[in-house]
Structure 1
Amino acid sequence: MEKSYNPHEKRKLSIYFITSVAALGGLLFGYDTGVISGAQLFLVKTFALDPQQQELAVSSVLIGAIIGAIVAGKINDALGRKKTLLLLAIIFTLGALLTAFSPNYQLFIFFRAIVGLGIGAAASVVPVYISEMSPSQMRGKLVTFNQLAVTIGIAVSYWVDLAFAHVGMGWPPMFATAAIPGCLLFLGMLISPETPRWYAGKGRWNEARNVLERIEGAHPETELAEIRTSLSLDRQQGRLRDLFAPGVWMALLVGVALAVFQQFVGINTVIYYAPTIFQSAGFASASSAILATSVVGVVNVLATIVALFLVDRSGRRTLLIIGTIGMIIGLVLLGAIFAFGSSQAGILTLLALILYIVAFAISMGPVFWLMSAEIFPTNVRAAGASVCSFANWVANFIVSITFLSLIHAIGTSTTFWLYAVVGVIALIFCRRLVPETKGKTLEQIEAYWNHGRQWLTPSDS
């Protein structure tokens, strides 16, 4: 007997479908970020790369991502969220195939940069689409689902790398596999609606109402009124220079510092170079090094799931402090393993990296993105979040383009200890300057900066 759904259940299923389709953009973000990890072991042999060329092979995608992050906002507003995601699906799909069939190193770098455009844009476009399509009571859960999709994409890329390494097919199919979710994203977005907020922003209120009725139910007058109010506030949005106004510049400092610390503690040396690290620690074959990396990827997903439950319970600042301490310990241990050696160096390296990735996944990983969206006053929130995102991509590029050079210049152990020193600085910064925003409204956070970093009591407001 066919199961029947009431209208409310049908709307929820529709919302879950739309969210899952859009989150494929997050999955592609993660996959195209992580796939280079195992693929570079084969790229080095195919193109006879020296360490500097290997760094560029890894980092080229970030050049595109920086550009994508800059232009995404204007394209998203001009074309609409749906058409922008369709465009990104095309970029991801064609980029994957062109990368896979690159005949030389130079074209490989170029096509990876093209994929980077999609990654940089998806980082902001996907959360906006999901947020604007979600009923208010489901918004937090659905938006954080995209963050989980990113870590799942990274983990999937590791296992795909392992599968093709095991059968000896090399790097081309590792990149080509991304075309599958790229096609699914394109097909799914064809039957998904544009967001009501974008329609309203273009004065297309009837179309906005139709979409709201699909996701909210009949007579969505309250939601339409909220959109009108929000659009009115958006017209008062501040400019970049307003971020340096009294009461705001400190929020900018905290946001940008967290963006830089998140990368300078070395997280993407693990995401991008883990198999290389494992081979240096004694894993003999590419397959065994990628298998160890795949275990780290699964742990990253599981720890991210835990973080989604902790961030509103334990608090942002608390998680930052605990997680940063864990990362420092992991980095010190990694440095010690490479400095003093051990017959069990491979297993010890795996355990140290697991400690490090768990600590990151419950702290700097999700908390930076959350805080960069909530610590700024309303009129400069979009500008502030954009600056933080840009700083994060630039820091990501700096770390990934210098890792192998640092290893050759100062040694593997000293490189990890250098990241640990950055972790200590980050810990001091978080303890002294990062506010605890758990349970605070956006208005209370804004008042905190305006009143000299003092929380107001209800009687003060």
Structure 2
Amino acid sequence: MTARDGTGQDVRRGRGIGLATTVAAAGGLLFGYDTGVISGALLFLAPEFGLGEAGSQAVVAALLAGALVGALAGGAITDALGRRRTLMGVAAVFLVGAVLSGLAPGTGVLITARVVLGLAIGVSSVCVPLYIAEIAPKESRGRLVSMNQLLITVGILLSYLVNSVFAASGSWRWPLALAAVPALAMLVGLVRAQESPRWLVLRGRVDEARDALVGRTPAEAEAEIAEIRDAAREEARWSWADLRRPALRPALTLGIGVAAVNQLVGVNAVIYYAPTILAGVFGSDTGAILATVGIGLVNTVVTAVALARIDSWGRRPLLLGGLAVVVAALVALVVLFLLPSQGGVVGVLIVVALCVYIAAFAASLGIAIWLVNSEVFPTAVRGKAGGLGATTHWGLDLVIASTTLTLITTLGESGLFAVFAVIGVAGFVFLYRLMPETKGRSLEEIDASLQARAGQT
């Protein structure tokens, strides 16, 4: 029998999980693809448009500027329009931005298209995990929300692969435009999707919410609706001003600090500019782009393994151990770029060091930023407080995108990685002192541990 008790509940539950998985795949994939594709495209569009250092950084940073605005506005948009309609709008914006990028006749249009794509990325970074968490059955919620992070890395890898396919022809338009394909698939897939039960309950549309709670028995549906109402009443008791309460300070410090360390060890300098950095090492654009495919593959595989094992390995050892390896890899890159020549064996070692760096980051800070912000805050303030961490992430990402080439020109590659290594050491000390183990602990236990650690500093 395929349906429990002949009611078809297991079938409907499976459909709900499938829908959440589809949304995670499309939203996360587009997030990663549009973030990573510029790395290889930049090698060919920069000479075509006569872009110098500042122009190249502007093209990269435009996406992050849009993402910062989108992330700040994403919560309000999602609450006003609903999760489903917001995601349909996001998919449409992704589609328009991708086509506009591929057809851009000049720098102005390209930067505008990148800002448009950034807006979609910023809103999707808020709405996609929220929608999945609210529509998925409880027993698969964590796994499906985590899948969004994995699919971001898959999107980055896919963008590197597409760049490598078009590298020989020197084409940058097709890699940028092909993001329209998953965007269209996402838009079509959402046409018949149901709205989030939580949003419907909060809008007084309880009957529709019951219908949206696929796979639940009537008793389970009523219990979940009651939980939604209770949580909403608790959230309404907290305002933005309440985040200044001393009791929340340790959690806020940790959440914002993790987001800052995540960016300031330079991961997106590698994601955005690896082909530019490696072009001098390999002596060709094609070789540099092919090398980034290996980096993207490592990023995806290690993220998948870390997400599968984090509940058994624990957050604190994975975060601190991974960050220590990140710093060691950065130090190795400093030394390698100081050598008289970066060709031959040295070039291979540079790629190996970058792969080790990306692997260690993916297993630690790459998943910690979202996980820490989901675990250290009380449920009632998690949305507001987590938003501060996300804003820190996007703001510093914009800074990195806007300054990497300038820092390379000023300090050289070794100087750039040295700056990231020093910040990594400071970040390790910060997290060693403040980061508690959150695995298998209640919110009250986590809060008590944070308060104790903050009192020791």
TM interval, shorter chain, is: over 0.9
Note the C-alpha offset of 1:228: 2.1
Note the C-alpha offset of 1:218: 4.5
Q: Name the counterpart of 1:458.
A: none
- Residues 130 and 142, structure 1, Cα contact 8 Å, conserved in 2: yes
The one-character-per-residue Cα deviations of 1:377-417 (angstroms, maximum 9, x if unpaired) are: 23322111001100110111111111110111111111111
Poorly superposed stretches of 4+, deviation over 6 Å: none
Output the CA distance in 1 between the equivalents of 2:80 and 2:302. Answer: 37
Output the CA distance in 1 between the equivalents of 2:287 and 2:439. Answer: 42
- Residues 148 and 305, structure 1, Cα contact 8 Å, conserved in 2: yes
The one-character-per-residue Cα deviations of 1:405-457 (angstroms, maximum 9, x if unpaired) are: 011111111111111111100111111111111111123223444567589xx
The one-character-per-residue Cα deviations of 1:35-81 (angstroms, maximum 9, x if unpaired) are: 00100001111111111111111111000000000111011001000
Output the CA distance in 2 between the equivalents of 1:425 and 1:169. Answer: 41
Output the CA distance in 1 between the equivalents of 2:419 and 2:138. Answer: 43
Note the C-alpha offset of 1:5: 5.9
Query: Is 1:259 aligned to 2:259, yes or no?
Result: yes
Output the CA distance in 2 between the equivalents of 1:432 and 1:448. Answer: 11
Q: Name the counterpart of 1:298.
A: 297
- Residues 279 and 285, structure 1, Cα contact 8 Å, conserved in 2: yes
Q: Name the counterpart of 2:320.
A: 321
SS class of match (2:360): helix
Note the C-alpha offset of 1:21: 2.4
Note the C-alpha offset of 1:246: 1.2
Note the C-alpha offset of 1:318: 1.0
Q: Which amino acid is the alignment partner of residue 264 of structure 2?
A: F
| Mapping 1:269-280, distance limit 5 Å | 269-280=269-280
Q: Name the counterpart of 1:195.
A: 196
Give the length in aligned residue pairs.
449
Note the C-alpha offset of 1:239: 2.3
Unmatched runs of 5 consecutive residues or more in structure 1? 456-461
Q: Name the counterpart of 2:236.
A: 235
Q: Name the counterpart of 1:246.
A: 246
SS class of match (1:215): coil
Relative distance call for 1:454 and 1:441 in structure 2 (3 A) is farther
Q: Please identify which structure carries the higher helix content.
A: 2
- Residues 247 and 449, structure 1, Cα contact 8 Å, conserved in 2: no
Output the CA distance in 1 between the equivalents of 2:76 and 2:59. Answer: 29
Equivalent position to 1:140, from 139, 142, 148 = 142
Q: Name the counterpart of 1:118.
A: 120
Output the CA distance in 1 between the equivalents of 2:453 and 2:45. Answer: 53
The one-character-per-residue Cα deviations of 1:220-260 (angstroms, maximum 9, x if unpaired) are: 22222222222222222x22232221111121111111111
The one-character-per-residue Cα deviations of 1:344-369 (angstroms, maximum 9, x if unpaired) are: 22211110011000100000000111
SS class of match (2:295): helix
Moved more, 189-198 or 436-445: 436-445
Q: Which amino acid is the alignment partner of residue 150 of structure 2?
A: L
Moved more, 6-15 or 62-71: 6-15
Q: Name the counterpart of 1:459.
A: none
Moved more, 285-294 or 214-223: 214-223
Unmatched runs of 5 consecutive residues or more in structure 2? none
Q: Which amino acid is the alignment partner of residue 34 of structure 2?
A: D
SS class of match (1:248): helix
| Mapping 1:12-411, distance limit 5 Å | 12-23=13-24, 24-166=26-168, 168=169, 170-212=171-213, 214-219=214-219, 220-236=221-237, 238-281=238-281, 283-340=282-339, 341-342=341-342, 343-411=344-412
Relative distance call for 1:451 and 1:328 in structure 2 (3 A) is closer
The one-character-per-residue Cα deviations of 1:115-158 (angstroms, maximum 9, x if unpaired) are: 00001111110000000001111111111111111111111111
Output the CA distance in 2 between the equivalents of 1:454 and 1:196. Answer: 41
Give TM-score scaled by structure 2 length: 0.95
Output the CA distance in 1 between the equivalents of 2:151 and 2:217. Answer: 28
Note the C-alpha offset of 1:374: 1.6
- Residues 11 and 215, structure 2, Cα contact 8 Å, conserved in 1: no
Output the CA distance in 2 between the equivalents of 1:361 and 1:348. Answer: 20
Moved more, 307-316 or 156-165: 307-316
Note the C-alpha offset of 1:205: 0.4
SS class of match (1:436): coil
Q: Which amino acid is the alignment partner of residue 94 of structure 2?
A: F
Output the CA distance in 2 between the equivalents of 1:441 and 1:4. Answer: 36
Q: Which amino acid is the alignment partner of residue 253 of structure 1?
A: T
Output the CA distance in 1 between the equivalents of 2:450 and 2:155. Answer: 37
Output the CA distance in 2 between the equivalents of 1:375 and 1:134. Answer: 22
Structural RMSD (CA): 1.7
- Residues 436 and 450, structure 2, Cα contact 8 Å, conserved in 1: no
- Residues 36 and 159, structure 2, Cα contact 8 Å, conserved in 1: yes
Output the CA distance in 2 between the equivalents of 1:10 and 1:291. Answer: 43
- Residues 133 and 215, structure 1, Cα contact 8 Å, conserved in 2: no
SS class of match (1:95): helix
Give TM-score scaled by structure 1 length: 0.94
Output the CA distance in 2 between the equivalents of 1:247 and 1:138. Answer: 32
Output the CA distance in 2 between the equivalents of 1:80 and 1:315. Answer: 35
